[in-house]
Chain A
Amino acid sequence: MTSKLTVKLNNHVINAMHTLWLLFLCLVLPGCQRQQADSESNKTVKTQKPVFIDVAEQVGVLMTHRNGMSGQLYYPEVMGASAALFDMDGDGDLDLYLGQGRQLEQEQPGLAEDRGRLYRNDAERGSLQFTDVTETSGLWSDGYAMGIATGDVNNDGWTDVFLANFGSNQLFINQGDGTFSESNQNAITTDELFSSSAAFVDVNADGWLDLYVTHYIDYQIATHSDCFNETGALEYCGPSSYPPLADQLFINTGDGAFRDESAARGITKEGAGLGVVTADLNADGLIDVYVANDQSHNFLWINQGDGYFTDEALFRGTAVNHHGLAEASMGVDVGDVDNDGDYDLFMTHLLNETNTTYLNDGGGYFSDMTAALGMADPSMGLTGFGAAFLDYDNDGWLDVLVANGEVRHIKSQVDAGIDFPLKQTNLLLKNKAGTFSDLTHLAPVLLTPEVSRALAVGDLDNDGDTDVIITNINARANVLVNQMGQDSSWLGLSLLTSSGRFDLGAWVILKLSDGSTVKRRVRTDASYLAANDPRILFGLSVHTQSVDLEVRWTNGQQDSYEGLELNQYHILQQQ
C-alpha cells in the first residue's frame, strides 16, 4: 500500500540516517569511541538471515497468473487464484497446484495454456525442485480458478482435489499413480455459482469427508454493471453491488457421490462468503464451520450433532468486530494463538479496517482482542486476503502471515502507469507469548509490493519448518522457503485414519516437560482460496527431550502417545 509503504520506507531512511549521525558522533566523541571499541571486542558477529527467501524461479515454479483483464473491470479479476500443497503421489513430500485465470468473455472452456499448473515436488538431498506435470496428470482445470480443497473423498489413501471456480466446479479423483480422473457425475460439479473457498470436513462423523463450499455473490459477466469510486472514476465493484449467495454443504454418501443437503442441515443464510475453516470451536467434540463473509456478518455454524448446523456467530461474538460492525472478511485461520488450549480465529480485512483476532474463552465464546494483542495498527492501510497461523521460528507460538493487495485502484500507482495498480506489501506478525509485533522487515521479500491473494503453508523441503506459497494476480507465485525454523526443535505428525487418509479436524495436545501444552489441528482448509499441508508441525524452541501427546480423532476416539523423538515426522494411524 502506498501510504504504508511510503512511511515505512521513510522510517528506514530515518533509521539509516540516524545510524550515520551516531557514527559521526562516535568518531568525534572520545567516550563513545571507547565504548564502541569495548563493544567491538566483546561482541560476536551475528548476521540475521532473511526469514523467507523466494525460490520460485530456481525451483521451477514458473506459471504467471493471468486475470484476463480487458478494461471492463469484471469482478473476478480482483479475486486471485488458488494455491494448494498436498502430496499427490504419496512420496512423502508436498506437491503444488496453482490456479489460473483466463479471459472472462471467453465462452468455451479454457485452452491448455489457461489451465492451472500441477508441480510435482522432486526434492532430493535437500535441494528443492518442482516439475510441471500438468499435462500428464489429468488434473485439467477448465474454469476461471478461485479456490481449492484437498482431501481423500473415497478413503483410498490418496488425496483428491476439488476446484472451486467462477462457474462450474470440478472434482478430480487421485488414481494413485500420479494421475487424476475427473468426476463429472457429481452434485458438487453442477454448481454454476461464484464459488470461492472450500473445505473437506466430516461433519456427521460417518468416516467420509463432506464438502463445504463458500459462495460469494450473484455475479455474471452478462449482467456486469459498472461501478465508480468516490471521485467518479471507473472502479472494481464491491460485494454490496450484487446479491450475496448462500453456501453449500455436500454430504459424501460413501459411494463416490455427494448430495447437496445445505438447506436440510441449516446452511441457508446468504453472505458474500470468501474464507472457510472447520474446527471444534466450542469444544463439544463436534466440528463446526466458520465462514468469513465480505462486508456482511460472518457465520459461525455450530454443529448441533450429526452435521446439522445453527449460526451462532452474533451471540458468540464472531459475526462482527468489537464495535458491532461487519467487516470485509476475506481470509481466515483458526489456531491457538495464546496456547490456552482452545481455538482462536484470525481474519483479514480491507485497508480501512484492522485485521481481526477473536480469542476463545474456552467454551466457544469469543472477544475481539485485536488491538490488545498488538495486531491492529500493522494491518491498517493494507487489504488482507490469504492468511495463516504459522510458527515460522518454531518457538511454540503461532505467528501470522498475511498476503495483501488492494481491491480498488491506488491513485499513485495509476499515475505511475502500473498495469494492475493494486499492489501492496505483505505482513508478518511475530507472536511473543501472546502479543504480536510487525517483523515483516525480517523477510524483505514480503516487502515487494504485489497484488497477493491466496497463501498456503506447508513444509516443502521436509526440514521441519513452515514454508509458504503466495499467489499474486498477473504475476508469478512466491515460493517462500523458511530459513529460520529448522534451527529450533520441532516435531511433525501425520494423523491418519485406519483407511489411511488424513483425519481432517482431529487435534493433538502436546505436553512438554515444563508442564505447558500446545494444541494443533489436522487441516487443509483456512486462508483464502488455499489448501494447506495436512501435517501438524510443532515448534519446540530449545526443547530437546522426547515428548508425549494426546490425539483426539474426529470419531471421538482418544489416544495417548509417549516418547516421540524430536526433529522428525511421525505417522500416527488410528487403530
Chain B
Amino acid sequence: MKVLLTMTVCALLGLLAYGISLQQQQSVKPLAVQPPPSFPEFNLDNDYDPPVKQQFIERLDYIGLIRNTGGNPAQLAWAYGQLCRLFHAYQQMDEARDCYLNAIHLDPTEEEWSYLLAHVYLTTGFNDLAIDYFSRALANNQSIQTQYWLAHAHQVNQDHDMAEAQYMELLSYEPDHAMSLYGLAKIKQQNNDFKAAIKLLNKVLKTQPQAHQVNYLQGQLYRKIGDIEKSRTLLSSIADDRFAKVSISLYDPYMQHVSDLRISAQSQARMGRKAVAQKNYQEAIRYFKNAVAANETRTDTRYNLAMAWFLSGQLQLAQEQLTAVLKLDAEHEKAIQLQNRIQKRLNAK
C-alpha cells in the first residue's frame, strides 16, 4: 500500500514536472498546442523622450485593439512583433526576447520574429538558441542575410566546419558577399592559413576599402607572415575613434527596420556624432535635427546641431541654434566658445 501510494505521488509529481518542464522549454521547441501568450510586464517610464513614449503607447494600443476585436493569432503576432521591435530597438533585451517568443508562438510561420529573436540571443551570448532560431527563420524563408547570420552564429559557436559550409554555399550565390568573405578569412586565420586569409580580405577591400575590421585583420596577418612594414602601415591607420570606424556594410532590412525605430534624442545624437566623425555633415545635421525634435530641452543636442551647421559652413544657422542653447543655459561653455569662433570668422569676412 505504502509503495503504491509512493508510486502514485511520484507519478503525479512526475507528470506535473513533465508538464512544467515542457512549458519551460517552450523557447526551444514549439508546442503543438500553444499556451495563451502572456502580456510582457512593462512599465512605461515617464522619463522617456515624449516621441519614444508615444511609440510605445501606439504599439500597446494596437495590441489592445487586436485583442478586443477578436483578431486572429497571426494578427496578434504581428501586433506583438511591432512592440518587440521597439524593445529591441531600445536595447531592452529581456523584454524583446519574451515578446518575440510570444509572437512566434502565435505565428510560427513568420520568419521575421525568429530572425530577430536569433539576433537577441546572439547579442546576449546564447549561441545555440541563436542558431536554432536562425535555422527556423531560414526554413520559413531562404534569404541571403539569414544564411549569413546562421553561418556567423556557427562561427561564434566555434563550429568552423558548419560555418565554412554555410559561407561557401552563400558565396556560390553571391561571390562578393563581403561579410562571408571576412568570416571565411577569420576561419583561415584560425587554421593558420594566413595567406589564404589575406587573399580573401583583398577581395573584400575591392568593394569596401574603408572597412575598419578588414584593415585590422590584414595588419595582423601581414605580421604573422613576416611582412612587418606592411603590417605597421595598415595598423597605424587604425584610428582610436569609435565614431570614425567604418564597418563592412551588410544588407539587412529587418535589423535596419529595428534601428530605424530609434528616434530618441540620444540615439539620433549618436548617429549624428558618427556622421560628423565621418565628415558627413549633411547627414549629421539631419540626425541632430531629429534629436532636437525628440527633446527640445537638451542643450548638448542643440550645441551639436550648431556645430554641424558650423562645420558645413552655414554660420547663420549655427548662430541661431547657439542662441537657443544659451537661452536654456546661459553659461554653456562650449556654446560660448563656438559663438566666439563664429563671430571671429564673420568679422574676418
> Which listed residue, A232, A320, A326, touches B264 by the CB 8 Å rule?
A232
Interface string of A358-379 (1 = CB under 8 A from B): 0000000101000110101111
Q: In the complex, what distance in Å separates the CA atom of A509 from the CA atom of B336?
A: 61
Which chain B positions have C-beta within 8 A of A32? none
Judging by beta carbons under 8 Å apart, are A4 and B124 in contact? Answer: yes
CB distance from B153 to the nearest CB of A (A): 11
- Interface on chain B toward A: helix, strand, loop, or mixed SS? helix
How does the 8 Å CB contact mask read for B311-324 relative to A, with 1 for contact and 0 for none?
00000000000000
Residues of B within 8 A of A378 (CB): 125
Contact residues in B for A25 (Cβ distance below 8 Å): 14
Q: What 1/0 flags go to A297-323 for Cβ under 8 Å of B? A: 100000000000000001101011011
Once A6-B94, A232-B47 are accepted as A-B contacts, the answer to whether A320 and B52 lie under 8 Å apart by CB is no
Could you tell me the distance between the alpha carbons of A381 and B223 in the complex, rounded to whole angstroms? 33
Contacts A17-B20, A228-B265, A381-B124; A324 near B14 (Cβ below 8 A): no
| A474 to B45 alpha-carbon distance, docked (Å) | 24
CB interface residues, B 77-105, toward A, < 8 Å: 89-95, 97
| Cβ of A23 to closest chain B Cβ, rounded Å | 6
B57 proximity list for chain A (CB < 8 A) = none
- A380 touching B24, Cβ below 8 Å: no
Check B47–A381 contact: CB distance below 8 A.
no
Q: Does A185 contact B (CB under 8 A)?
A: no
Contact B24 A234 (CB under 8 A): no
Q: Mark B15-57, 1 if CB is under 8 A from A, else 0.
A: 1111011001100000000000000010101011100100000
Known A10-B24, A296-B240, A372-B190: A232·B265 in contact at CB below 8 Å: yes
- Whether B13 is near chain A, meaning CB under 8 Å from some CB there, is yes
* Cβ-based interface call for B290 (8 A): no
Q: Name the contact of A24 in the complex, choosing from B15, B123, B298 (C-beta under 8 A).
A: B15
Q: Mark A512-552, 1 if CB is under 8 A from B, else 0.
A: 00000000000000000000000000000000000000000
> Residues of B contacting A228 with CB < 8 Å?
49, 264-266, 298
Stretch at the interface among B167-175, B213-221, B278-286: B213-221
A411 to B40, CA, bound (A): 13
A567 to chain B, nearest CB (A): 38
Interface residues of A in 220-246 (CB under 8 A from B): 225, 228-234, 240
Chain A residues bordering chain B, tally (CB within 8 A): 57
**Cβ A411 vs Cβ B92 within 8 A:** yes
Complex interface: chain A residues within 8 A of B24 (CB): 10, 13-14, 17
Pick from B43, B47, B158, B231: contact of A372, CB below 8 A: B158
**Is B196 interfacial (CB-CB < 8 Å)?**
no
Residue contact A2 to B94, C-beta cutoff 8 Å: yes
Residues in A whose Cβ lies below 8 Å from that of B265: 228, 232
With A23-B10, A315-B232, A324-B216 given, is the CB distance from A412 to B158 under 8 Å?
A: no
Of the listed residues A25, A324, A325, the one surrounded by the most CB atoms of chain B closer than 10 A to its CB is: A324
Are the C-beta atoms of B238 and A320 separated by less than 8 Å? yes
List residues of A (1-24) whose CB comes within 8 Å of B's CBs.
Answer: 2-4, 6-7, 10, 13-14, 16-18, 20-21, 23-24
Nearest-neighbor residue (CB-CB) of B25 within chain A = A14
User: How far apart are A34's CB and chain B's nearest CB, in angstroms?
Assistant: 16
A229 engages B13 (CB within 8 Å):
no
Nearest-neighbour CB distance to chain A for B338, whole angstroms, equals 16
Q: Would you call B328 an interface residue if the criterion is a C-beta within 8 Å of the partner chain's C-beta atoms?
A: no
Q: Is B293 an interface residue (CB 8 A)?
A: no
| Contact B123 A27, beta carbon cutoff 8 Å | no
Partner of A21, one of B21, B90, B125, B235: B21
- Interface of B toward A, CB cutoff 8 Å: 6-7, 10-11, 13-18, 20-21, 24-25, 41, 43, 45, 47-49, 52, 89-95, 97, 123-127, 156, 158, 186, 190, 212-213, 215-217, 220, 223, 231-232, 235-236, 238, 240, 242, 245, 262, 264-267, 294-295, 298, 300
A interface residues, Cβ below 8 angstroms from B: 2-4, 6-7, 10, 13-14, 16-18, 20-21, 23-25, 27-28, 225, 228-234, 240, 295-297, 314-315, 317, 319-320, 322-326, 352, 354, 365, 367, 371-372, 374, 376-381, 411-412, 414-415
Can you list 11 A-B pairs with a CB-CB distance of less than 8 A?
A17-B17, A17-B24, A21-B21, A228-B49, A230-B91, A233-B45, A240-B242, A324-B216, A325-B212, A377-B125, A411-B92
Please provide the 10 A-B residue pairs with the shortest distance between their CB atoms, ordered closest to farther. A24-B14, A380-B125, A324-B216, A232-B49, A17-B21, A20-B17, A233-B47, A415-B43, A297-B240, A17-B17
